[in-house]
Amino acid sequence: MIVLPPKVSPGDVFTAKLWNQLRDCVAGLRPQAGSNTRITHTPKGFVISFDPAFFSWKHPFRCSLDQKLLTIDVGYINQIEPTIGGVPMSGVDATGNLVPKGIPKLSFSGQYDSENRNWIALKTTIKSDGSIIKSEILSINDWPPVLDPFIAWHPLALIKKEKGTPQLYQMTYHNLGHQWIKPTTGLGRHFFWAQ
């Protein structure tokens, strides 16, 4: 147990003895590690390191990277389920049966652009009336992709190589609505919004 110095009142002399007792009391204290905290004792004192807890919640299009494979939670664009490698994101086919290989994972190539970036993107192909033909999720290392009036791109996440390690940054947290505005001239415009 640490012996505390006596209490002082206004006007009391703060002596060297009291100062030394206070110093010894503080020196005898040891910090206690809490959640996600590391304490290292060194000859010069303590080093306190903190790792904030990974904040994650389930949401549409949530991406998680494990080595070279991405798991992406089910999300919809205009109530249409996109595919990964031709397989519905949920791993359930149009008749309600599980696909043989289960929920698909997106293979991450590990290729980056000149700024060490790779995008997980939703590629949506439309008809001339603006209705969706198909929507798929891809890993691409060139943004923005080549413009095409009948192909819409929306970034879901960004993978950035930092100090040799890929870091995932989520960009989309909701289901998507999409509308293509047919142009009088030019390519037209693709609009996305949260649904």
Write out pLDDT tens, residues 58-102.
899 999 988 889 999 999 999 999 999 999 999 998 888 898 888
Q: Which residue has the tokens 């994650």?
A: 56
pTM to 2 decimal places: 0.69
**Residue 27 DSSP label:** H
Q: What's the farthest any 2 CA atoms get from each other in the chain? A: 88
d(CA 25, CA 19): 10
CB burial of residue 117 (10 Å; 0-12, 13-18, 19+):
middle
Omega before residue 144 within 30° of 0, cis: yes
- Structural domain boundaries in the chain: 63-194
pLDDT of residue 1: 59
Does residue 25 sit in helix, strand or coil? helix
d(CA 152, CA 121): 10
Going by DSSP bridges, is the β-strand pair 165-170/151-162 parallel, antiparallel, or unpaired?
antiparallel
pLDDT of residue 81: 95
Which residues, 6+ apart, have CB-to-CB distance to 95 below 8 Å?
A: none
Q: pLDDT tens for residues 18-62?
A: 888 888 887 777 788 877 788 888 888 888 887 766 566 789 999
